[in-house]
Amino acid sequence: MTDIEYDIIESFYDIVDNEYAQFIEDCRSGKMILNRSWLVIPATMLKTVWLGRVRYGFFRNIKPLHKMRSIIFRNVAKLRATTELAGHTQVDPLMYITNDLDEQLTEQQYDDFMYSDWFTFNNELAITDYGMKPLEELAWKMMKTGDPDQLWILIDQALNVVHCNGDLAAFFVQGGSESLCEVSMENYKSKPLIYRPL
């Protein structure tokens, strides 16, 4: 494993552990945060970057692309944490809290939050059983690539991962799937129609 790969993994699990720490703090205080805020890609940024790339054939500014990558990476890690904390993986959250994080949390404190709105964002359940593996693989590839076009493709793939719990794209981009559809329609409208004889 290279130093860069090690740093990516460490950054990912730092975010996961920060989510656990927030959960522990909220459980102990009894403070139930409804629809916790998540930073997502602004719909206007997505539209500008996507349509700009299609129009010019290259990226005139790659900074927004890197910002999108950071947001997706962070939110995939947050989804990993909330999915684990909700008991939807092989990780036992209480054991992880006690043994790995060296924190104490009673089963009652945990159970009080288990089915609470702590696990929601924008009225969507912040848990994914089916989307976690492809999202983590794409996040890993995104962080390793230095090619803007490859990054663009990976971001597009990540935004289009689906699951059966609701609008998964809503955890990454403002407006969720609706914004993706709007960008797709704008792209379609901007292309000239070419009629080919049969």
Per-residue pLDDT at 171:
92
Asked if residue 152 lies in contact with residue 184, where contact means CB atoms within 8 angstroms, the answer is no
Neighbouring CB atoms inside 10 A of 61's CB total: 11
For 57, left (φ over 0), alpha (ψ -120 to 50), or beta? left
pLDDT at 159: 95
**pLDDT at residue 187, as a whole number:** 63
195 pLDDT band, cuts 50/70/90, is very low
Cβ burial of 167 (10 Å; 0-12, 13-18, 19+) is middle
Residue 12 to residue 97: CA distance in whole angstroms: 17
Which residue type does 191 have? K
CA distance 38 to 10: 21
Can you tell me whether residue 169 is helix, strand or coil? helix
Is it the case that residue 94 has pLDDT exceeding 70?
yes
Q: What is the torsion angle, in degrees rounded to the nearest 10, for the CA atoms of residue 182, residue 183, residue 189 and residue 193?
A: -130
* Tokens representing residue 13 in the block: 């699990």
pLDDT at res. 112? 76
Q: What is the pLDDT of residue 188?
A: 59
Q: What does the pLDDT read at residue 179?
A: 92
pLDDT at res. 194: 43
Any idea how long the chain is?
198
pLDDT digits (tens, 9 = 90+) for 30-85: 776 655 678 999 999 999 999 898 888 889 999 999 999 999 999 999 999 989 98
**Model pLDDT for residues 134-179, shown as the tens digit of each residue:** 999 999 999 999 999 999 999 999 999 987 778 899 999 999 999 9
pTM summary value: 0.87
